Structure 1
Amino acid sequence: MAASELQHEQALNTFLDERPELRVELDHLNPLLAQAKGETLAQFRDERLHEAFEAEAERLGLFAWELTLQLTAATPQDYEAQRLEVHREVAEMAGMDWLEYCDLYGIKP
């Protein structure tokens, strides 16, 4: 069960709430830069927010969906359970043995 769109939106809001300096930066983007990319200012802002979110996930050594789960899970145990569930689904879709997958990604089964 990958993170839902609603969970991701909640995670983005939490992420932004925890970074007031990023909110200020996003609220003061140059509209000409958006226009040059053929985007509305809202689209341009949304793209910058997603880039910052993904950069933070990478900095933490996480996939973006893991950061989404981390920011929306009720407890650390809930996060870990959801994270393992998604990793199991990915391993299954990839046709990989679970223990081999865990070894490859440094996951404790």
Structure 2
Amino acid sequence: MATNDQQHEQALKLFLDQRPELRHELDNLNPLLAQAKGETPAQFREERLHEAFEAEAERLGLFAWELTLQLTAATAEDYQNQRLEVHREVAQMAGMDWLEYCELYGLSQ
């Protein structure tokens, strides 16, 4: 149950709604900076939003997908259940033993 694009977009909206100063900063980016990178102002803004989101996740000691779940889960219990489910998927894709994976990432089952 990896996070989906719609869930991530909802998380970005909530993230931005909770940070009016970031919204103001993003709404007032220099369009010449976007042009210098060969991007449209909208693409440049979106990239800065994703960078801010990932920086906040890192500051909290989370993966960006965990912050997405945290912002979109209905309850704390729902967040924990979804989080463990995604971690299980990652462990399976990596071919790692679940207990070893939990130990590596400090997860309690």
Instruction: Please report the TM-score for the alignment, with normalisation by the length of structure 2.
Output: 0.99
Q: Distance in 2 between matches of 1:46 and 1:21?
A: 16
Q: Give the share of equivalent positions with the same residue, in percent.
A: 82
What per-residue deviation string (whole Å, max 9, x for no partner) do you get for residues 35-55 of structure 1?
Answer: 000000000000000000000
Query: Which 5+ residue runs of structure 2 have no aligned equivalent?
Result: none
Residue type matched to 1:57 in 2? A
Superposition pairs for residues 26-105 of structure 1, below 5 Å?
A: 26-105=26-105
1:60-79 CA-to-partner distances (Å, cap 9, x unmatched) read 00000000000000000000
Structure 1 segments unaligned to the other structure (5+ residues): none
For 2:101 and 2:58, locate their aligned partners in 1 and report how far apart those are by CA, in whole Å.
20
CA RMSD of aligned residues (A): 0.3
Scaled by the length of structure 1, what TM-score is found?
A: 0.99
Segments of 4+ moved more than 2 angstroms = none
Offset, 1:94: 0.5
Distance 1:93 1:23 in 2: 37
Which amino acid in 1 is paired with 2:43?
Q
